[in-house]
Amino acid sequence: MRSIGEMARDSGLSVSALRFYDRGGVLVPAWVDPVSGYRWYGPEQLEEARLLARLRRAAMPLADIRLVLAGWSGADTGLVRELLRAHLRRLEAGLSDARDEFSTLRALLDSREKPMPLPRTDVVRLSLGGPGLADALDAVRFAVGRDPDLPMLAGVLFDIEGGSLDVVATDRYRMAVARTGTGGHDGGRVQVVVPAPLVDAMRALLGHGEPVRFAVDGDRVTLDSGSGQTAGRCLDHEFPDYRRLVHTPEGSRAGVDTAAFRKAVETGPVVTGEPSGPGEPAVELTLLQVTGEGEVTLGDDRGSDLNQVAVNRAYLLDALDAGARDRLSLEIGAPTAPITIRRPDDEHTFSLLMPVRLDD
């Protein structure tokens, strides 16, 4: 007999997925302890679990998986073969449709792009408080992307408008936004994406508390402080329209003591999520929910409570550290909506964490 943890390890299904398939009658344990409720699986069920994992990776619907498993354990191999052929035909048809749609999208993109982009001609000179800029960069640096296929996310957006500077970073799974005041600019909106190494060099000059000067001249940015100067080229890529992404559905809000909550997340229960890529370890997820009393609770089982939101635990810890306040506010809505982590004293500085879809 295998425990649920051993079955998860040997089959490629997560513990939460095995619980789900048990509740749905797809893969029912051979025995459940009547006292503890702990699930145990027979030796013959390992092959079924591995088959189930393969079929789910191939995106076969659960209704068909039930029939495949029933035929696999019986003598009706003809039904199994027909179900596999039918699903493969659906996948091939779907891939053909997707290729047609992407071909149309590429044509639309080609029509929108300028054949010869004009060089940047913006010239902006700002005065900034060193501590304010340092705090803003610290609040967003953790969310900078590292995917070489998405070079536009490998830096921090400096969004200058009116008397404020918003700095923004995202790697698609999380986004961080922070604002600081500026002086000396009364023109229109100017945006530049500063590469991460140059951002780090700028941050290193901001440890002395003095005012600094920030300049944009075409595709070059410069930061000048009393202790030194650093400069370099901005990224020649367009950053996503983050203002469209930060409008999330309103959820339940709860205040937390940052240190205590961080410790609870770090040492508390987790569920196992899918690896982020081939050869990558499984992701540890924290389940969050706001109670009717306005408190945030941590769960250890998806169970039947669909109001819990799963989030990457490492990303949550990073966001709590970047919040840099004794107390923070968490907004948790639907399981498909981002989690928002805000500073109670600064509505313009916050982080968004994308929820993680648990196995179904």
Identical fold, 123-243 and 248-353: yes
Give residue 292's pLDDT band: very low, low, confident or very high (50, 70, 90): confident
User: Going along the chain, which residue ranges are E strands?
Assistant: 2-3, 31-32, 39-41, 123-128, 155-161, 164-170, 174-183, 190-195, 212-217, 220-225, 228-233, 252-257, 271-273, 283-290, 296-299, 309-312, 327-332, 339-343, 346-353
The pLDDT of 156-180, averaged and rounded, is 93
The mean pLDDT of 345-352, rounded to a whole number, is 92
Whether pLDDT at 360 is above 60: no
Domain ranges across the chain: 2-87, 123-243, 248-353
2-87 has CATH 3.40.50.2300 classification:
no
Contact 191, 233 (CB under 8 A): no
**Under 8 Å between Cβ of 168 and 180:** no
Q: What is the pLDDT of residue 337?
A: 84
Tokens linked to 339: 């989690």
Fold entry, domain 248-353: DNA Polymerase III; Chain A, domain 2 (3.10.150)
Give pLDDT tens digits for 89-125: 999 999 988 888 888 888 888 777 655 555 566 788 9
pLDDT over 90 (residue 315): yes
pLDDT at position 20, please? 85
Q: What is the mean pLDDT of the chain?
A: 87
The mean pLDDT of 242-253, rounded to a whole number, is 80
Mean pLDDT of the 166-188 span: 90
Tokens matching residue 67: 């029939």
Alpha carbon distance 332, 289 (integer Å): 7
Q: Which CATH class is domain 123-243?
A: alpha beta
In angstroms, the Cα distances linking 183 to 97, 164, 178, 229 are: 52, 8, 17, 19
Tokens of 345: 């004293």
List C-alpha distances in Å: 226 to 95, 135, 164.
58, 18, 22
Q: Which residue has the higher pLDDT, 202 or 14?
A: 202
pLDDT over 90 (residue 290): no
pLDDT of residue 304: 47
Could you tell me the pLDDT band of residue 303, with boundaries at 50, 70 and 90? low
Give yes or no for residue 203 having a pLDDT over 90: yes
Residue 172 and residue 175: Cα distance in Å, rounded? 7
Q: Where does the pLDDT of residue 301 fall: very low under 50, low under 70, confident under 90, or very high at 90 and above?
A: low
Answer yes or no: are the C-beta atoms of 297 and 289 closer than 8 Å: yes
